[in-house]
Amino acid sequence: MTAFLIKRVLQSVLTIFGVLTATFFLVRLAGDPAALLLPIEATDRDIAEFRRALGLDQPLPIQYLKFLLSAIEGDFGVSLRQRTSALGLVIERLPATLELALTAFVLGIVLAFLLGLAMRLSNSPRLRAVIMWAALIRQAIPVFWFGLLLILLFAVNLRWLPSLGRGTIAHLVLPALTLATYELALYLRLFNSSLAAEGQQDYVRTAYAKGQSRVSVLLRHMLPNALLPLITIAGINLGVLLGGTVVTETVFSWPGVGRLIVQSVSQRDYPVIIAGVVVVCLIFVIVNLIVDLLYAYVDPRVRLS
């Protein structure tokens, strides 16, 4: 287990280093921030002083080394627009993203789990077809379009829920429902196929031959094995959600990290872009590391591979 943990930690460090490197060079390709932030009447001297203040007048390798050293210390500079710590702005938006992502994640998993068990226990082809078709139709609808439909129905016509912003639990319902139902289709399909595959195994037939009930076989024998593929996919999706759901945050004006990064890209606010991407990368890597360890704990074969 120790060797497995060390291997995964080293892979995580290399991933973070790769993201830092890619982010540094990609933001440099976006153009000169002086052209956007300085007024049109700015002189060449003003532009040169502005670039010198940001360190953009130095050779690119020197900029890169300084960037890596500052990133290790957690210093990503000051926002060019708001004149405050770039990392501080990202951390300020992080609770909103965590709130939305975790709520949608738990809701999607619980719905998939309950619907998947209902499909297997009922043994009704009609019920199974209805649930699967409903899930697939929902997944086929783009997130932004489904979110707008929810706003039109529950906020505009019925006036049951607020449509924009963050504040109360009521503000969380529509964006969380939008994300949870989209992820539900993926979880449900994977969960259903895993249960169907486990149902063909010899140990299931042996359990039935011993006189165990359908519920007992499903919950005690099939379910633990069927959850293994779901753990991996759920972990990846959780990392994506925690990284910021840009479209959903934009539709519902949710003040999260994803929306902040998109706004910073349009403003060429390099420090905020880099800080946001690095924070998203860290969250994604940490979540996947936890999932790997959980998977290794559930399935000992992974630790030995």
- Model pLDDT for residues 41-66, shown as the tens digit of each residue: 677 777 777 777 777 777 878 888 88
How much is the average pLDDT of 210-220? 79
79 pLDDT more than 60: yes
Share of the chain above pLDDT 70, in %: 90
Within 13 Å and on the Cβ side, how many CA atoms surround 40? 0
What are the tens digits of pLDDT across the range 244-266?
577 888 888 888 888 888 888 77
CA quadruple 90, 92, 97, 99: dihedral, nearest 10? 160
Could you report the per-residue pLDDT of 221-244, keeping only the tens digit for each? 787 777 777 777 777 777 777 765
For 18-37, what is the mean pLDDT? 74
Instruction: Inform me whether the pLDDT recorded for 278 exceeds 80.
Output: yes
Q: Which residues, in sequence order, are bridge partners of residue 85?
A: 78
Residue 300: Cβ-neighbour burial (10 angstroms; 0-12, 13-18, 19+)? exposed
Q: Tell me: pLDDT of 180 over 60.
A: yes
Instruction: Name every residue whose Cβ is closer than 8 Å to that of residue 201 and which is 6 or more positions away in sequence.
Output: none
- With a cut of 80, say whether residue 182 has pLDDT above it: yes
Q: What is the CATH number of domain 86-303?
A: 1.10.3720.10
Q: Express the helix, strand and coil content of the chain in percent, nearest 5 each.
A: 80, 0, 20
> What pLDDT is recorded for position 298?
65
Residue 28 has pLDDT above 60, yes or no: yes
Confidence (pLDDT) at 30:
65
